[in-house]
Structure 1
Amino acid sequence: MSAIARLAATVEARKGADPETSWTAKLLSKGPEKCAEKFGEEAIEAVIEAVKGDRARLTAEAADVMFHLLVMCTARGVTLADIEAELTRREGTSGIAEKAARK
């Protein structure tokens, strides 16, 4: 099992945890909108580090982004398996063709 799969399982398991003892449960208890806001904050921090060029800081921020993406998706009932299925569906399709198909 990959680190991301283990993290997704942990996020899922923490849905019912006590928000006083679990950061994940605390985020989830605040609702999907707050989870999305926190994901956005972390994404901006990752962009800033990418522009600065600090590889170590970008790596740390990217890990935060992955965590908060999983929390946000969990808050809306989207699982890592759902995301993986969508990525699989897109395999072999060029990004240009995939974007054109959305219109």
Structure 2
Amino acid sequence: MTTLDRLAATIAARKGADPDTSWTAKLLAKGPEKCAEKFGEEAVEAIIEAVKGDRARLTAEAADVLYHLLVMLAARDVTLDEVLAELDRREGLSGLAEKASRG
């Protein structure tokens, strides 16, 4: 089991937890829209650090992005396995052809 698998499992387990005892449960209790907003904030912070060129800060922000992506997915009942299956489906396809197929 990878780190992302373990993180996704922990997030899934926290869906029913008490929001007063878990940051993840607190985020999920605020609903999918708030989870999406938080993901967006973290993505912007990662972009800023990528532009600045600070590797350590970018690494930390990228970890935040991955965590908040998984929380946002969980808020909409999309699993990491479903996302990975979609990536597997796209493997070997030209990026340009794949984008064109989405029309």
User: Match of 1:61, as an amino acid?
Assistant: E
* Inter-partner Cα distance in structure 2 for 1:63 and 1:4: 10
Matched to 1:69, the amino acid is: L
In structure 2, what is the equivalent of residue 77 of structure 1? 77
Q: How big is the shift at 1:79?
A: 0.2
Give the number of equivalent residue pairs: 103
Identity %: 77
What is the CA-CA distance between 1:94 and the residue it aligns to? 1.2
Deviations 1:33-74 (A, max 9, x none): 000000000000000000000001000000000000000000
* Distance in 2 (alpha carbons) for counterparts of 1:35 and 1:56: 25
**Residue 30 of structure 2 aligns with which residue?**
30
Give TM-score, length-normalised by structure 1. 0.99
Query: Aligned partners of 1:99, 1:16: CA distance in 2, in Å?
Result: 37
Q: Does 1:9 align with 2:3?
A: no
How far, CA to CA, are the matches of 1:52 and 1:4 in structure 2?
A: 26
For residues 4-58 of structure 1, what are the alpha-carbon distances to aligned partners after superposition, in whole Å with 9 as ceiling and x for unaligned? 1100000000001110010000000000000000000000000000000000100
Aligned residue for 2:91? Answer: 91
Equivalent residue letter for 1:60 = A
CA-based RMSD of the aligned residues comes to 0.4
In the alignment, structure 1 segments of 5+ residues that lack a partner are none
Structure 2: gaps (5+ residues): none
Q: Which amino acid in structure 1 is aligned with residue 55 of structure 2?
A: R
